[in-house]
Chains A and B, each alone.
Chain A
Amino acid sequence: MNPIDDDTLQAYVDGELDAASAARIDVALVHDEVLARRVRQARAVRAQLHAAFDPVLDEPVPARLSALLQPRSMQAAIPATPLVMPAGRHGTGTPRRRTARRWFVPGAALAASVALLAVALWWWLPGGDLVRMQGGQPFAAGALNRALDRVLASEPDADAPVAIGLSFRGNDGRICRTFVLRSPPAQAGLACHESAGWALPVLGAAPPPEGGELRQAASALPPAVQAAVDARLHGNVFDARQERAARDAGWR
């Protein structure tokens, strides 16, 4: 039998071969372990791609997209896109319609954004989004957002998926909190409160806990997160009373 070339093997895996050619490979697979392995590897790429991208099918479609497909008569009542404030310090204070912005990032910047996507994806996988992107920046979502809003380090909840560490008012006036995700792989980060929610300026892998137990969240910070804390911290971290008062004031 002729050796099976890569194009033919790929066509077999992708269901592109006619029945006779496919049957020939079916037969060869029975006794050709090398061929079987090549088929497995080619299938694995496809399977992993589906595992990576099919969850998008089950995500809720953002309202700004579905709103574009509303009948015209209804569009008057529904903004085509959500209203957001212009980005940060350049803002005029006037809400504007969000428009499709830059989204192509070449080269190294692409790798960087993909690395972020990688971290974000990872967090999304175990169920429920913990990170959402807004204006190209990551923000806390879902259980992480709820924990940052509600959980007090002085009243730790061992069952919560997120452990809160330090809370403090940063040198730009925003309140920041460190956190560690308990479910492996442990991720730690710094969240700073702003009008759009909890921005996540730093995310990183948490050091593995010692002795099989999760240590105090604040002591388990990766160096990048610790450095970000050090850069922002002026004054003291909140004590239990200040932390509660900050929560009651909506972290403003």
Chain B
Amino acid sequence: MNSSDAVREGLIPLLPRLRRLARALAGQAADADDLVQIVLERALARAAQWRPDAALDKWVFAIARNAWRDELRARGRSQHLFAPEEAGEMAADRASAQPAQQLELAMALAALPPDHREVVALVLVEGMSYGEAAELLEVPVGTVTSRLARARATLQAHLGKDA
């Protein structure tokens, strides 16, 4: 089996986790799947760079994070999905506690700076260790820790007082 086939086959079981990570990074479902599409295309194009002794999930998650960052840079300009008045209509009242809390959290996550959002996505959503996240992000572990602490404080403020 050549490396391309190995990557192709290895990615299939990773798709659900990759989609979850992309959702945490990109927010909207459609946007997240567009990101996943970019990641899969890149991963297949670079399959020769993957060494079989390296974990495929971490390799492809790194591609995902970098692709997300590339898009952030490339699409830095404002693009309006919805007219503001429409946005007001979308922001419906929230009545029941549990989903409302999750929605608050999703909105708070989307509002985090990218440095914080990616740490939350990798550590709290994907479940990487601080060390794994630090390696993927190419920053010291202490940086992961401090970014995560600040992100957590922000998100926590959006949960109930005594969650």
Q: Which residues of A contact B (CB under 8 A)?
A: 6-7, 10-11, 14, 16, 37, 40-42, 44-46, 48-54, 56-59, 61-62, 64-66, 68-69, 71, 81, 100-122, 125, 133-136, 184-185, 187, 202-205, 224-225
A-B CB contacts (within 8 Å), total count: 233
- CB-CB < 8 A to B54: which residues of A? none
| Residue in chain A with minimal CB distance to B40 | A68
> Taking the nearest CB of chain B, how far is it from the CB of A17, in angstroms?
11
Contact yes or no, A116 B82, CB < 8 A: yes
Pick from A37, A56, A107, A202: contact of B89, CB below 8 A.
A202
> What is the CA–CA distance of A11 and B146 in the complex, to the nearest angstrom?
11
| Besides the known contacts A6-B149, A40-B162, A104-B26, 19 further A-B residue pairs in the complex with CB atoms under 8 A apart | A11-B130, A41-B162, A49-B120, A49-B124, A50-B124, A53-B20, A54-B20, A59-B16, A59-B19, A61-B19, A66-B12, A81-B37, A100-B41, A110-B111, A114-B111, A115-B87, A184-B95, A185-B94, A225-B89
A/B interface sample: 16 pairs, CB < 8 A: A44-B159, A45-B155, A46-B124, A48-B105, A49-B109, A56-B20, A68-B37, A103-B26, A110-B27, A113-B31, A117-B106, A118-B106, A119-B92, A133-B28, A136-B30, A204-B89
Pick from B9, B29, B86, B130: contact of A14, CB below 8 A.
B130
With A45-B156, A59-B19, A118-B107 known as contacts, the answer to whether A112 contacts B86 (CB < 8 A) is yes
> What is the CA–CA distance of A6 and B148 in the complex, to the nearest angstrom?
11
Pick from B12, B35, B84, B99: contact of A100, CB below 8 A.
B35
> What is the CA–CA distance of A51 and B111 in the complex, to the nearest angstrom?
19
| Residue in chain B with minimal CB distance to A9 | B149
> Taking the nearest CB of chain A, how far is it from the CB of B134, in angstroms?
11
Contact yes or no, B12 A69, CB < 8 A: yes
- CB-CB < 8 A to B79: which residues of A? 102, 104-106, 109
Contact yes or no, B163 A40, CB < 8 A: yes
| Residue in chain B with minimal CB distance to A6 | B149
> What is the CA–CA distance of A217 and B107 in the complex, to the nearest angstrom?
30
| Residue in chain B with minimal CB distance to A107 | B78
> Taking the nearest CB of chain B, how far is it from the CB of A72, in angstroms?
9
> What is the CA–CA distance of A219 and B111 in the complex, to the nearest angstrom?
36
> What is the CA–CA distance of A141 and B54 in the complex, to the nearest angstrom?
40
Asked if B33 lies at the interface with its beta carbon under 8 angstroms from chain A, I say yes
> What is the CA–CA distance of A187 and B91 in the complex, to the nearest angstrom?
11
> What is the CA–CA distance of A102 and B80 in the complex, to the nearest angstrom?
11
> What is the CA–CA distance of A40 and B35 in the complex, to the nearest angstrom?
33
The 9 nearest A-B residue pairs measured at CB: A103-B31, A112-B87, A44-B163, A133-B30, A224-B89, A185-B95, A205-B92, A205-B93, A115-B91
- Tell me if A's interface is mostly helix, strand, loop or mixed: helix
Asked if B52 lies at the interface with its beta carbon under 8 angstroms from chain A, I say no
Asked if B56 lies at the interface with its beta carbon under 8 angstroms from chain A, I say no
Q: Which residues of B contact A (CB under 8 A)?
A: 5, 8-9, 11-12, 15-17, 19-20, 23-24, 26-38, 40-41, 44, 71-72, 74-82, 84, 86-96, 98-99, 101-103, 105-107, 109-111, 120, 123-125, 129-130, 145-146, 148-149, 152-153, 155-156, 159, 162-163
> What is the CA–CA distance of A6 and B152 in the complex, to the nearest angstrom?
10
- CB-CB < 8 A to B163: which residues of A? 40-41, 44-45, 48
> What is the CA–CA distance of A117 and B91 in the complex, to the nearest angstrom?
9
- CB-CB < 8 A to A45: which residues of B? 105, 124, 152, 155-156, 159, 163
> Taking the nearest CB of chain A, how far is it from the CB of B101, in angstroms?
6
| Residue in chain A with minimal CB distance to B41 | A68
- CB-CB < 8 A to B156: which residues of A? 41-42, 44-45
> Taking the nearest CB of chain A, how far is it from the CB of B11, in angstroms?
5
> Taking the nearest CB of chain A, how far is it from the CB of B10, in angstroms?
9
- CB-CB < 8 A to A122: which residues of B? 92, 94, 99, 103
Pick from B9, B71, B87, B146: contact of A111, CB below 8 A.
B87
